């Protein structure tokens, strides 16, 4: 299908940074619709994330590919990506301000139903989506694709509001079994409605067609898996249909 989405750059300031997020929606649809905050891999706001936002727009969402580094920045290589990602977690309060600001920007959009907003992300973005839930952002749902599961904030009972979908590669060498067990324990202790799907044979980065080449280039255990990419997308669609009904 041709891409018929309308796109805008949404500029705002939060957490000490000027931010430039990329918003997409289908102008042929009428009325308010759910909004999705779409959070990036450690590479930042790149073509992959913008494409995902447009695909989500085609499904009927207002989707915002969200800038977390500032100025819509994309890392030039893995070294810079690691530095930028590390910087986020040296100032967790500022990170929280940026994520909350993204929520408020999306909520204020005239096409977004303010009661139906979710967050989703890839790798780092999956962790950031979960962080939004942990810090009490009133999302309806969170979907994480090959995301880290460790926490930078310990949620209190009742603080974590959204339902959760975890799309995890069973062969992901970057998300240890101990992290998975600790995450399950956390969700159960917080009484969170969560679903944890493990896809056989899938490695870290399974949704991104560039993952295999980047893994080879930077000596990282990344690999694209077309079958799992398609299946996890279908699982995500079912999750949002349930969450936003």
Across the chain, which has 245 residues, the per-10-residue mean pLDDT values are 85 97 96 98 98 98 98 97 97 98 98 98 98 98 98 96 98 97 98 98 98 97 98 98 97
pLDDT of residue 2: 62
Residues 6+ apart with CB under 8 A from 207: 122, 145, 146, 224, 228, 229, 232, 233
Residues 6+ apart with CB under 8 A from 177: none
pLDDT of residue 4: 79
Helix residue spans in the chain (DSSP H): 47-58, 78-90, 92-107, 124-134, 177-189, 211-218, 226-243
CATH of 6-243, one of 3.40.50.2300, 3.40.50.1820, 2.70.98.30, 1.10.10.10: 3.40.50.1820
- Per domain, the residue ranges of the chain are 6-243
Task: Determine contact, residues 200/227, Cβ cutoff 8 Å.
Answer: no
pLDDT of residue 1: 52
């Amino acid at each position: 299908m041709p891409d018929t989405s309308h796109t805008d750059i949404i500029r705002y300031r939060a957490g000490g940074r000027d931010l430039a997020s990329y918003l997409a929606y289908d102008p042929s649809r009428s009325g308010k619709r759910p909004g999705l905050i779409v959070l990036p891999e450690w590479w930042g706001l790149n073509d992959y994330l913008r494409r995902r936002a447009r695909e989500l727009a085609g499904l009927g969402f207002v989707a915002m590919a969200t800038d977390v580094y500032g100025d819509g920045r994309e890392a030039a290589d893995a070294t810079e990506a690691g530095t930028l990602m590390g910087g986020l977690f040296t100032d967790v309060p500022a990170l929280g301000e940026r994520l909350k600001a993204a929520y408020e920007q999306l909520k204020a959009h005239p096409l977004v139903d303010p009661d139906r907003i979710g967050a989703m992300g890839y790798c780092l973005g999956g962790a950031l989506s979960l962080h939004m839930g942990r810090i009490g952002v009133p999302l309806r749902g969170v979907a994480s694709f090959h995301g880290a599961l460790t926490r930078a904030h310990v949620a209190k009972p009742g603080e974590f509001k959204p339902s959760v979908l975890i799309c995890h590669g069973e062969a992901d060498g970057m998300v240890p079994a101990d992290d998975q067990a600790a995450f399950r324990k956390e969700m159960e202790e917080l009484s969170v409605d969560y679903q944890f799907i493990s896809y056989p044979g899938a490695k870290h980065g399974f949704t991104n067609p560039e993952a295999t080449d980047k893994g080879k280039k930077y000596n990282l255990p990344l690999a694209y898996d077309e079958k799992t990419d398609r299946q996890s997308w279908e699982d995500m669609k079912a999750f949002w249909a349930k969450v936003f009904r």
